[in-house]
C-alpha cells in the first residue's frame, strides 16, 4: 500500500501528482507519509511595517496594496507594488511567474 503511486490518492490526480513529484520528490503514499517539513512558518502572526528590519526574515504583513506597476521587459519584467499599513509603506517586488496583470 505504501508503494502506491501518489496520483491514486483521492483528490490528488495527475496535475497535483506531477507537482508533488517535481517539487517535493513525493512519488508514493509512503513518500507522502514520511515527508516532514524542514521548517515551521507561523502564519498566525502579522507584523507591522515599522517592525521590519534586515534581520526579520519571513514575515506576514497586512495592509492595503496600492499602485501596482509592471516594470522592465522580457526576462527582466517584474511586478512592483506598494503596501501601506498604519505604520508605514513598503515596496513589494515579484520577479517571476507573471505573464501579465489587469485591474478590475
Q: What is the pLDDT of residues 17-36, one digit of tens each?
A: 999 999 889 999 999 999 98
Looking at the 3D structure of the chain, how many domains does it have?
2
* Residue 61: strand, helix, or coil: strand
> Could you tell me if 53 and 86 lie in one domain?
yes
pTM of the model: 0.56
What letters, b where the CB count within 10 A reaches 16 and e where it falls short, cover 20-57?
bbeeeebbbbebeeeeeeeeeeeeeeeeebeeeeeeee
Residues 55 and 88 in one domain: yes
**Range of the structural domain that residue 64 is part of:** 49-94
pLDDT score at 104? 37
Q: Are 3 and 30 in contact (CB under 8 A)?
A: yes
Specify whether 54 is located in the same domain as 23: no
81: in domain: yes
Asked if the structure places residue 43 within a domain, the reply is no
Residue 65: what pLDDT? 93
Task: Clarify whether residues 54 and 22 are in a common domain.
Answer: no
pLDDT for the residue 59: 86
- Please check whether residues 28 and 58 belong to one and the same domain: no
Summarised one tens digit per residue, pLDDT across range 59-91 is: 889 999 988 898 888 778 888 999 999 999 999
Whether residue 75 lies inside any domain: the answer is: yes
19 and 55 housed in the same domain: no
Amino acid at each position: 500500500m505504501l508503494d502506491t503511486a501518489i496520483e491514486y490518492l483521492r483528490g490528488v490526480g495527475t496535475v497535483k501528482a506531477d507537482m508533488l513529484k517535481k517539487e517535493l520528490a513525493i512519488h508514493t503514499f509512503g513518500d507522502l507519509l514520511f515527508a516532514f517539513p524542514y521548517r515551521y512558518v507561523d502564519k498566525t502572526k502579522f507584523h507591522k511595517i515599522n517592525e521590519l528590519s534586515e534581520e526579520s526574515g519571513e514575515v506576514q504583513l497586512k495592509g492595503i496594496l496600492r499602485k501596482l506597476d509592471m516594470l522592465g521587459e522580457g526576462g527582466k519584467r517584474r511586478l512592483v507594488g506598494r503596501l501601506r499599513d498604519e505604520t508605514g509603506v513598503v515596496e513589494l517586488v515579484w520577479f517571476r511567474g507573471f505573464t501579465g496583470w489587469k485591474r478590475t
